[in-house]
Amino acid sequence: MRLPLYAFGFLAIAGSTPAMAEPLRPEIETFIGEMVARHGFGQAELENIFGTVKFQPTIIDAISRPATSRPWHVFRPVFINPRRITGGVDFWNNHAATLERARREFGVPEEIITAIIGVETTYGAQSGKRRVLDALTTLAFDYPRRAAFFRDELEQYLLLGREQGADILNIKGSYAGAIGIPQFMPSSYRRNAMDFDGDGKVDLSGSTADSIGSVANYLKSFGWETGGTVVVPAMVNGESYRSVLFAGSKPSYTVEEIRKLGVMTRADIPRDHPATLLELVNKSGNEYWLGFNNFFVITRYNRSVHYAMAVWQLAEEIRTARNSSLKQK
């Protein structure tokens, strides 16, 4: 299915409407009316833009079966492997001064920033091939489960394009509409992206420095604690521990309260420290970890436990490999 063609280009001037153009879908016309009323967009310019949109069923298929839904023992090797570890060491070495500056300013370690970019786009090599406008519009109007979220992101995308004078018809990204080296959704782009290289513009697709600073700024905005523990291994007994398994919320139980439910750790963590329990499914039995505030912060980037754990474990592997290589020099 293809939404009807009207014209070409962002903020295009009306007047080039094809003679045989079909009307836009009613729900899209309603959305356009809201953008005109709330933000002063022109009716014709938005009709021109949405006239170029192509509905893509493959986007619905992709978001309905995310990689993060795979068992941990299947998901982990995709991101914790020699290629990404070596790539992370190279990325860190190539951008060491920028990463160090981001750590100083935001308190986020170099390896965490590097690992997020490594998981998201393999250090900028794979930032997405789908047109963001198509992805966001498809999900906003043909994916009822999260339609409200993606309509908001579509609104943010239009505002971002206007603010930056961007050609929103040709920006490419992920199937979910994420943009650039760090894969920011439009709302995060507007809220957290920053000009970290000092060239007077914010560019998450072309500037690695902007991407590094923006990732650090994003994590800090959600409460990253400088020097804070991310996770520690844990052991469980009985079944009471299931009441404190991570469900997406900020850790609210203390280590002592969790201990009384049959969860133990050999790590030296203060008993009053807020924590949550993580369960990862493996072939030979599940593994358990205590997660703390900084783990929760990583899940603000992607709400999956698998995603956040992959970021942390990749970060640890990169840091270890880089330290080892530096010692050998």
- What was the pLDDT predicted at 215? 98
End-to-end CA distance of the chain: 58
The whole-number pLDDT of residue 57 equals: 93
Can you read off the two tokens belonging to residue 181?
């080296």
Q: Is 176 exposed, middle or buried (0-12, 13-18, 19+ CB in 10 A)?
A: buried
d(CA 251, CA 223): 12
Candidates 120, 153, 155, 317; catalytic one: 120
Is the pLDDT assigned to residue 7 strictly greater than 50? no
Average confidence score pLDDT of the chain: 93
For the CA atoms of 111, 115, 121, 122, the dihedral, rounded to the nearest 10 degrees, stands at: 80
The helix-helix angle for 147-164 and 132-142 (nearest 10°) equals: 150
Q: Give the pLDDT confidence of 204-249 residue by residue, as tens digits.
A: 999 999 999 999 999 999 999 999 999 999 999 999 999 999 999 9
On whether the CB atoms of residues 155 and 136 are closer than 8 A, the answer is no
What's the confidence (pLDDT) of residue 22?
Answer: 74
Q: What's 3's DSSP letter? A: P
For residue range 264-298, list pLDDT tens digits in order. 999 999 999 999 999 999 998 899 999 999 999 99
Nearest-10 crossing angle of helices 208-221, 110-121:
110
pLDDT at 19: 39
User: Per residue in 140-168, pLDDT tens?
Assistant: 999 999 999 999 999 999 999 999 999 99
Contacts of 9 (CB under 8 A, 6+ apart): 48, 167, 169
pLDDT higher than 80, residue 13: no
What value does the mean pLDDT take over residues 64-81? 94
Q: Tens digit of pLDDT for each residue in 16-26? A: 444 346 789 99
Report the pLDDT averaged over residues 98-127.
98
Both structure tokens of 66:
């995310």
Is the predicted pLDDT of residue 75 greater than 50, yes or no? Answer: yes
Q: What is the predicted pLDDT for the residue at 21?
A: 60
Instruction: Name which residue leads in pLDDT, 270 or 327.
Output: 270
Distance CA 242, CA 201 (A): 48
Q: What is the DSSP letter of 225?
A: P
Residue 11 reports pLDDT greater than 90: no
In whole angstroms, give the CA distance from residue 217 to residue 224.
Answer: 9
- pLDDT value of residue 3: 33
Is 317 one of the annotated active-site residues of the chain? no
Using CA atoms, how far residue 261 sits from 85, 235, 243, 265, 299, in Å, is 36, 11, 8, 12, 24
The pTM for the full model equals: 0.92
Distance CA 16, CA 8 (A): 9
Short-list 256, 160, 176, 231, CA closest to 168:
160
Please, how many CA atoms are within 13 Å of residue 213, restricted to the half-sphere of its CB?
18
- Partnered with residue 214 across adjacent β-strands are none
C-alpha 115/C-alpha 310 separation (Å) is 8
Output phi, psi for 203, to 5 deg: -140, 95
Q: What is the mean pLDDT of residues 30-38?
A: 98
